[in-house]
Structure 1
Amino acid sequence: MPSRSATAGPFNRSWGAYAFLAPALLILFLSLLLPAIATIGMSFTDISFLRPANWVGLDNYFRLMADGRFQQAIGNTMYYTLGVTFPTMALGLLAAVALNRKFPFRIVFRTIFYLPVLTSLIAAAVVWVYLYEPYSGPVNGLFVSLGLGPQPWLSSPNLAMMALIIMAVWRDFGTAMIIYLAGLQDIPEEIYEAARLDGASKFSILWRITVPMLGSVTFYLMIILIVQSFQVFGAIYVMTGGGPLGSTETIVFQMYQTAFGYTEFGYSAAMSTVLFFVILLFSLVGTKIMRRGEG
């Protein structure tokens, strides 16, 4: 029969581990879980600091389904997400393949391409506002030098979202490059050597070997970029303010305006809850698909 000390050992060690984890778990609960629960609870009320709060049940969610402005924000968010995700992945892959080869100063080029990621988002947005300036900005200066007329990049409903997407791709493709570079290190060089001996072209090697073998990396990166794009706010706040005519108003920006502009905190909480569950569902499904593919 095992001694009491022998059976109590694993139990005591578990409680010791929980004791060390308790401060981090408490911080996690207070900073993430508790606000999330409070937000979900607020979504069932008409809370506003201008009047007493009342329980309204699902009224905020029914209002969302009939809100044309919210539907426009969903469309804008999807447009931005698709416009950022796939070009960022494509440019990141091309940069990673180019910089995975051995040549002088490749570390310098990697650093230069990754620098925008380290730049403050607000600072980068301010710089791009200057670049898009309609009269003296460098972008329109380039257009004029090519014989094209200047464009109202941030004041045109047709161009403003595209201008935001270009800035986001410039800033984020360095992240995609680093992730793809890590994935390329795991592909055995013997596979490439065998393909070259068989007479495969560089494009064929890229399309038939590199891209398929980076499938799990690509899917992981796609999930990260989509979740990140769903939550875009800072660049829109600085560069367009949601305009013109709501053409760059995304879900998160509309949540901010609804809460702090119109003081409709309950309605804003309903928007936040919907976005939270959409991102959660997408992340869970994406993770399950990725694990099944790895298996």
Structure 2
Amino acid sequence: MRRCAMPAPSRIRRFSACHAAVVEHTMNLLPAKPYASTHALWRRGRRRELATAVVMLAPSLLFLCAFTYWPILRSVVYGLFDVQLGSPEIYFVGLENYVRLWHDALFWKSLRNTVVYMVVTVPTSITLALMLAVALDRGLRGTALYRSAFFYPVMIPSVAAGMVWVFLYAPGYGPINSLMGFLGLPKLEWLYDPRWALPAIIFMSVWKYAGYFMLILLAALQLVPRDLYEAARLDGVSGFRQLLHITVPLISPTLYFVVVIGVLHSYQIFDYVFVMTQGGPADATNVLTFYIYQNAFQFRDIGSASAIANILLLVVGGLIGIVALTLGRRVHYMGR
């Protein structure tokens, strides 16, 4: 009863004093360092993530800079100098290397051979790859066996493949000429005739890369919804029109990728020419990459070789730009 008789204001003051003491004691137990703001914590986390990303990417970036960007930069610089292999003397000549190439008939012939190789090889390889991919996508028996058989040439090293085709093209005892003689056709000196040397290398390249493109296109075909084909068949649409109006638009991103890869591969041809023809006969198979090798290591002219490499870089970049402007705009992405 006495405890209840305490005036209300006194109880309130006593409670407030106790509460203040508890709060003060609790604050004294907390660390002196204040809490960081949410924004500061977010920035700290972002910096930590950025540092981790830089550490993880550093080896790849160093490798890329050392073996891609630095050689390109040196090639651009050497194209303006007279640089001889094995000689410490370097002379600035400006655009003289490019002017000399402008009047070099062999340079223009190698450029023409490279363009012909690209124009024939890329469409032929992609068309054949698409036909094979569509055939395998129909669910034929032994699809896994056919897929492995078509992809097998890709796994053969380029030098080994070139040596195999040198044997196949051999004029006297080669299997191809033996088959042509059995069929009553005239035998050809494939790698020794200027008219047939480049087509022989083109045929071998199509055999080498069609399986690689086929595997990529087959993966894209398996993502196309099957109900679209069922609806088209119910409407009486032919198989060719299904391919033209359903398949090609839906796999157009993959086709675009394959075209870009094919263009890049066509301008990197060197090993087949080196192993099979050495640029002959009569420079009929001399392409830009092999002409770069000749200037650098046979003629020992690093300046001219660098100038040719720079021109090749511009040509490839221009072609990729044309492909992006023409085919890139026609690409249809599902879901957009």
Range of TM-score over shorter length: over 0.9
Whether 1:48 and 2:84 are equivalent positions in the alignment is yes
State whether structure 2 residue 186 is matched by structure 1 residue 154: no
1:54 is paired with a residue whose SS is: strand
2:211 aligns to what?
174
- The alpha-carbon distance between structure 1 residues 200 and 130, as it changes in their structure 2 partners (threshold 3 A), is same
Which structure is higher in RCO with an 8 Å CA cutoff and minimum separation 6?
Answer: 1
Aligned CA RMSD, in angstroms, stands at 1.8
- In structure 1, the gaps of 5 or more residues are none
The 10-residue stretch of structure 1 (173-182 or 216-225) with the greater mean CA deviation from structure 2: 216-225
Q: Which residue of 1 aligns with 2:47?
A: 11
Match of 2:108 among 56, 71, 81: 71
Equivalence map 1:48-127=2 (5 Å): 48-49=84-85, 51=87, 52-127=89-164
1:50 Cα offset (Å): 5.6
**Which has the larger Rg?**
2
1:209 and 2:246 aligned: yes
Q: Distance in 2 between matches of 1:146 and 1:47?
A: 54
Output aligned runs, 1:19-34, within 5 Å: 19-34=55-70
For 1:290 and 1:88, the matched residues in 2 are separated by: 17
> Deviation digits for residues 141-173 of structure 1, max 9, x if unmatched?
111111111101000110000000000000100
Question: Is 1:250 matched up with 2:283?
Answer: no
* Structure 1 Cα separation of the partners of residues 326 and 100 of structure 2: 34
Instruction: Select between 275-284 and 217-226 the one with higher mean Cα deviation.
Output: 275-284
Which is further off, 49-58 or 64-73?
49-58
Counterpart position of 1:262 = 299
**TM-score, normalization: structure 1?**
0.94
Offset at 1:123?
A: 0.5
Q: Report what 2:201 is aligned to.
A: 164
1:131 CA displacement:
0.5
* Aligned partner of residue 90 in structure 2, secondary structure: coil
1:31 maps to amino acid: F
Q: Distance in 1 between matches of 2:63 and 2:149?
A: 36
- Runs of 4+, deviation exceeding 4 Å: 3-6, 287-291
In the TM superposition, residue 73 of structure 1 has moved relative to its aligned partner by 0.6
Distance across 1 between alignment mates of 2:305 and 2:59: 31
The within-5 A match list for 1:251-290 is: 251-287=288-324
* Letter of the 2:56 counterpart: F
* Counterparts of 1:91 and 1:246, CA distance in 2: 29
Structure 2 Cα separation of the partners of residues 288 and 201 of structure 1: 31
Contact 2:295 2:304 in 1 (8 A): yes
Distance in structure 1 (CA, Å) of the matches to 2:79 and 2:90? 11
Report the Cα distance in structure 1 between the residues aligned to 2:86 and 2:62, rounded to whole angstroms.
Answer: 33
1:142 aligns with 2:175: no
Identity of aligned residues (%): 34
Q: Which residue of 2 aligns with 1:39?
A: 75
Structure 2 runs not aligned, ≥5 long: 1-35
- List per-residue Cα deviations over 1:50-95 (Å, max 9, x = no partner): 6522011111112222211101111000111111111101110110
Q: Is the 8 A contact 1:216 1:290 kept in 2?
A: no
- Checking the alignment, whether the CA contact within 8 Å between 2:252 and 2:332 is kept in structure 1 is no
* Matching residue's letter, 2:58: A
Instruction: Tell me whether 1:185 sits opposite 2:222 in the alignment.
Output: yes
Q: Distance in 2 between matches of 1:236 and 1:279?
A: 19
Q: Is the 8 A contact 1:84 1:168 kept in 2?
A: yes
TM-score normalised to structure 2 length:
0.83
State the 1:285 CA deviation: 4.8
How much does 1:8 deviate?
Answer: 2.6
Q: Distance between the aligned counterparts of 1:166 and 1:17, measured in 2?
A: 45
- Change in 2 beyond 3 A, CA 1:219/1:24: closer
> Which range moved further: 85-94 or 280-289?
280-289
Read off the aligned partner of 1:122 and give its amino acid letter. V
Task: Give the aligned residue type for 2:316.
Answer: I
